[in-house]
Every structure is written in C-alpha cells, then in structure tokens.
Amino acid sequence: SFPTTVRIFEMSPRDGLQNEPGELIPTTVKVELINRLSQCGLTHIEAASFVSPKWVPQMGDASDVMAGISRQPGVIYAALTPNMKGLEAAIEAKADEVAVFSAASEAFTRKNINCSIAESLERFAPVMETARHAGIRVRGYVSTVMGCPYQGEVDPQQVARVAKAMLEMGCYEISLGDTIGVGTPLKAKRMLEAVSKEVPIDRLAAHFHDTYGQAIANLYAVLEEGIAVVDASVAGLGGCPYAKGASGNVATEDVLYLLQGLGIETGTDLQQLINTGHWISRTLSRHNGSKVALARGDC
Ligand code: HMG
Ligand code: MG
C-alpha cells in the first residue's frame, strides 16, 4: 500500500548540474538554486559533489558552494564523496550528510569511478568509519539498477547484493538508481522485490531518471510497494556523461503533483518549486523538463 508521507530528496544542484555541457556554471547560480530550493519546504538537498574535478568539472567548486549557501534550519545539505579525499573535503565544508556510490554493473562502475564494484566497497570502508566518528550519516547509491549503458540487462539479484553490502557497511539508506532511465513499472517492481528481500523497504529510496519517459510510472509502481523516499530534480535537470541520451532525474514538480493526487504528504510547496524550476531553466537557457511546470507557468 502507499505510504502516507514521502520524503523528497532534491538532486538538482548535484545530479542536475554535474553534466551541464559548456561553460562552468557560476558558483553564485548554484548557491542561489540551493537557497531557493530550501525555501520550498524541501528538507533534503544534495548540494555538491566532492569528486575529482578532472572527472566532473562542473562540481569543482563544491567547497565554495557549501560555504556560500544560507543554511535553513531543518534542511540537510548533502554531498557525494567517492573516497577519503572527498569525505575530508565534505567534512571541512560542513556537509550535513554524505553519500557513497557504486553500481550493480561492473562496466558502469569502471567508467564512473575507475574501479570494480568490490574495490569500490573496499574504498568506502574507511569513508564509513570516518563519517561515523564525525557523526555524519552516509547514504549509499546503487546505479544501473534497471539497466546499464554498457552491459545492457542487470540482474536484480546483483542489485540486491550491492545494496545489502552497502547497508551492512553502515549506510542509513540505499538509493536505487535507474541511471539511464530504461526501467518500466513491472521491471521496477521485480527489482524492488529482489532488493527488499535483503534490505528493508523503509531503508530504500527510488532514484529514477526519465530518459524513456517512464519515471513517473515507475515511481507509482514502487510507491505502491511502500517506497517512501524519492530522489528528484527540479525542472528535470540533469543527464549522465557515461550514458548516451540519458536525461535528468524525474522532475520534482511532477513527482509532487503525483503525490498530491495520491493524497501523500511531502510538506513541499508546488508553486514555489515550479517558480524555481523556471528560474534555473531560464538562467541556464535550458528547456524545462517538468510537464507540470510547463502546464502551470511561472507566477
Ligand atoms: P581515479 O583517477 O581513479 O583516482 O579517480 P585517483 O585516486 O588515482 O586520483 C586521481 C586524481 O584525482 C588525483 O589528482 C587525486 O588527487 C584526485 P592528481 O594527483 O592527478 O592531481 N582526486 C580527487 N580530487 C578531488 N576530490 C576527490 C578526489 N579523489 C581523487 N574526491 C575517482 C577515482 C573516484 C576520484 C574519480 O573516478 C571520480 O571522481 N569519479 C566521480 C564520477 C562522478 O562523479 N560521477 C557522477 C556521480 S554518480 C551518479 O551520478 C549516479 C547517481 O546519480 C545515481 C544514479 O543515477 O544511478 C548517484
Ligand atoms: Mg543520478
């Protein structure tokens, strides 16, 4: 059955901007995006990524972004940390929470973080340990849960294995990434069925990209199974450098509209989110990827 409340984890400052082609997005724009998002009633915002700037140039100013934001009480500002170097920088920048990331596909893991899945988990061990001592919660991402741009099909059992390993390492929550947005509702349910045998459903989140336009349908399918945490990106911002044609996360506005229709509480202001989506789309000269935002307009 459907959850009564859903927590939205806003991804746009990180997943939404990390692959933006062309010039580097000014730090001030990122800071303003995060500040605007935190006025919408969102409680979890992935604000930055402490990865190698050679690999992801758009996230090279992560420390400056974290230093520039006006922190709202009750809002968690999270950051990606692939290794100890990233974690140390995130702690220095006072990230409230961090995230480690691996995948269910070996080929994707190699392209994304330059190691095997097993090596990635080994790399996370000291990150988990240090974060625990610093009192910082760690989230875990498993990418390619419904398909991989290199190997194609992904076995749900493999998703379950990686998710379980991350949970056992101490991640408080595992976010299941349909990185290239190839899933469909039945596939999403089957994948979740396999994973929830190893990881309790209340420790799982859905992180669906919308490449094939299935993300809202897939979310409906997993919400029905009890998923109560949804990753989303305002205006559907985003893409993936290692996944041809991949589009951003499902648009936060569209998720909110779906949830409102189901009578599910989020504490988020839809119109303010719509305005924020229009603002960032205009600022980046980008098409707004939210259907709801296009229907409602800016006001
Ligand atoms: P590597 O080249 O194997 O690492 O990269 P290395 O340890 O050999 O380091 C190479 C250089 O990077 C060194 O600098 C390090 O100091 C530096 P040099 O000596 O050459 O000048 N370096 C760093 N600099 C800043 N911050 C750091 C850091 N670490 C090393 N943390 C590494 C390995 C993991 C670092 C690299 O592959 C990397 O940064 N990958 C990140 C890829 C990425 O950000 N992908 C997108 C995020 S994941 C995602 O979007 C999926 C998700 O949304 C879920 C879904 O949709 O499925 C989460
Ligand atoms: Mg993603």
Q: What is the pLDDT of residues 167-192, one digit of tens each?
A: 999 999 999 999 999 999 999 999 99
Distance CA 152, CA 162 (A): 18
Distance 11 CA to ligand 2 centre (A): 8
Please say if the pLDDT value at position 243 is more than 70.
Answer: no
Any idea which residue has 């070996």 for tokens? Answer: 106
If one compares 246 and 94, the residue with the highest pLDDT of the two is: 94
Distance CA 289, CA 267 (A): 22
Minimum-distance ligand 1 atom for the alpha carbon of 49 = 44
Across 7-111, where does the E strand assignment appear? 7-10, 44-49, 76-80, 97-103
Tell me what pLDDT residue 247 has.
86
Mutational pocket test of ligand 1: of 19, 51, 179, the residue with most ligand atoms within 8 Å of the beta carbon: 51
Alpha-carbon Rg for the chain, nearest whole angstrom, is: 17
Q: Are strands 173-178 and 204-208 parallel, antiparallel or unpaired?
A: parallel
**What residue's CA is closest to ligand 1, atom 23?**
52
Distance CA 99, CA 122 (A): 15
Mutational pocket test of ligand 1: of 9, 18, 52, 108, the residue with most ligand atoms within 8 Å of the beta carbon: 52
**What residue's CA is closest to ligand 1, atom 44?**
51
Distance 201 CA to ligand 2 centre (A): 20
Q: What is the pLDDT of residues 58-109, one digit of tens each?
A: 999 999 999 999 999 999 999 999 999 999 999 999 999 999 999 999 999 9
- Per-residue pLDDT band at 12 (split at 50, 70, 90): very high
Q: What is the pLDDT of residues 21-41, one digit of tens each?
A: 889 999 999 999 999 999 999
Please say if the pLDDT value at position 297 is more than 90.
Answer: no
Q: Is the shortest distance between the CB of 38 and ligand 1 below 6 Å?
A: no
Q: Is the shortest distance between the CB of 49 and ligand 1 below 6 Å?
A: yes
CA distances from 102 to 5, 88, 134, 144 (A): 28, 19, 22, 9
Distance 297 CA to ligand 2 centre (A): 26
Catalytic residues: 240
Q: How far apart are the first and last CA of the chain?
A: 35
Tell me what pLDDT residue 139 has.
98
Distance CA 146, CA 104 (A): 9
Task: Indicate if the alpha-carbon torsion angle 251, 205, 70, 52 is positive or negative.
Answer: negative
Q: Is the shortest distance between the CB of 247 and ligand 1 below 6 Å?
A: no
Distance CA 58, CA 146 (A): 27
What does pTM read for this prediction? 0.97
- ipTM of predicted complex: 0.98
Mean pLDDT of the chain: 96
Tell me what pLDDT residue 25 has.
98
If one compares 297 and 105, the residue with the highest pLDDT of the two is: 105
Number of Cβ within 10 Å of residue 68's Cβ equals 15
Q: Is the shortest distance between the CB of 108 and ligand 1 below 6 Å?
A: no
